[in-house]
C-alpha cells in the first residue's frame, strides 16, 4: 500500500499519514471528518478540489477543512508527503460549510439505496433527480458518493477504537468485509486491517 497511518501517542484522535516515494495510486474523490493539513516534503502533488486543480510543490502545505471533497490526481515519482488529520467539532464543521442539503444526510436512514435518497429529496421538497443535481453542484460529488464517505469516515472512527473490520463492515452497511475493504482502500489508500494497526 502507498499510505501508512500513525496515530499520536498523546491524542489518539490526531493521526498522520505518510505517502512514500512512487505513490501513484490515486484515491477516489473523498472527504474527511477531520481538518487535513498536507505537507509535501519532496516532489509535488496535484489535487482536484471543487473543480480547481491545486498544485502543492515540495516545501509547501495546503489545508482542507473537514467535509471538503477532494481527489489526488497526480504526483512526482519521488514524492513524499505527510498528512496531519486534526479533529474538528462536528457542529463547527457544519457551520463552516454552506451545505444545507448535506445536513439532511445526518438523519437519513442507514440504507444506501434509492429509497433513502428519494426520502431525503422529499424532505428537501425536490424530486430525486433534482435533488441529485443540486446536491452534486453544492458538494462536488453525488449524494450516494457523499453518503458512502460518511460511512467510510464512521468506519475509520470504529477501527480506531479496535472494533474488528468484519464488525465495522456490518455496522456501516457494506455488503461484506471485502466490499468494505475495497472502498476503504479506494478512499484512504490502505486496508482496514493495516489502518487499525497504525
93 domain residue, yes or no: no
Model confidence band, residue 96 (pLDDT cutoffs 50, 70, 90): very low
Residue 107 sits in the same domain as residue 152: yes
For a pLDDT cut of 70, what percent of the chain falls above it?
79
DSSP state of 30: B
Place of cell 449524494: 143
Buried b (16+ CB within 10 A) or exposed e, 124-143: eebebeebbeebeeebbbeb
Residue 103 sits in the same domain as residue 169: yes
pLDDT in tens, 18-69: 876 656 556 888 998 888 888 888 888 888 888 888 888 988 888 888 888 9
In this prediction, residue 191 carries a pLDDT of 93
In this prediction, residue 93 carries a pLDDT of 42
165 domain residue, yes or no: yes
Range of the domain at 128: 98-196
Place of cell 513524499: 80
Residue 184 sits in the same domain as residue 118: yes
Residue 83 sits in the same domain as residue 118: no
Does the pLDDT value for residue 183 go beyond 90? yes
In this prediction, residue 90 carries a pLDDT of 41
In this prediction, residue 83 carries a pLDDT of 85
> Does 182 or 9 have the greater pLDDT score?
182
In this prediction, residue 155 carries a pLDDT of 95
> Does 169 or 115 have the greater pLDDT score?
169
Please state the rounded mean pLDDT for residues 71-84: 84
Which of 87, 115, 148 is the C-terminal boundary of a domain? 87
> The domain that contains 175 carries what CATH number?
1.10.10.60
pLDDT in tens, 104-142: 555 444 444 445 778 878 877 888 898 888 888 888 889
How far is residue 30's CA from residue 152's CA, in Å, rounded to a whole number?
9
Does the pLDDT value for residue 162 go beyond 80? yes
How far is residue 72's CA from residue 120's CA, in Å, rounded to a whole number?
30
Domain count, the chain: 2
Strand partners, 9: none
In this prediction, residue 49 carries a pLDDT of 87
In this prediction, residue 22 carries a pLDDT of 56
Amino acid at each position: 500500500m502507498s499510505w501508512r497511518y500513525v496515530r499520536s501517542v498523546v491524542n489518539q484522535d490526531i493521526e498522520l499519514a505518510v505517502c512514500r516515494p512512487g505513490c501513484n495510486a490515486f484515491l477516489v474523490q473523498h472527504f474527511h471528518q477531520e481538518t487535513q493539513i498536507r505537507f509535501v516534503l519532496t516532489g509535488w502533488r496535484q489535487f482536484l478540489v471543487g473543480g480547481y486543480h491545486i498544485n502543492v510543490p515540495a516545501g509547501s502545505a495546503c489545508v482542507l477543512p473537514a467535509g471538503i471533497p477532494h481527489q489526488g490526481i497526480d504526483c512526482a515519482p519521488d514524492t513524499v508527503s505527510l498528512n496531519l488529520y486534526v479533529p474538528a467539532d462536528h457542529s463547527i464543521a457544519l457551520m463552516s460549510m454552506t451545505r444545507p442539503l448535506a445536513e439532511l444526510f445526518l438523519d437519513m436512514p442507514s440504507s444506501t439505496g434509492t429509497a433513502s435518497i428519494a426520502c431525503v429529496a422529499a424532505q428537501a421538497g425536490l424530486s430525486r433527480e433534482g435533488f441529485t443535481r443540486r446536491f452534486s453542484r453544492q458538494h462536488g460529488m453525488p449524494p450516494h458518493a457523499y453518503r458512502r464517505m460518511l460511512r467510510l469516515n464512521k468506519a475509520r472512527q470504529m477501527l480506531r477504537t479496535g472494533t474488528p473490520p468484519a464488525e465495522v463492515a456490518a455496522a456501516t452497511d457494506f455488503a461484506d468485509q471485502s466490499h468494505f475493504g475495497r472502498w476503504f482502500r479506494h478512499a484512504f489508500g490502505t486496508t482496514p486491517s493495516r489502518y487499525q494497526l497504525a
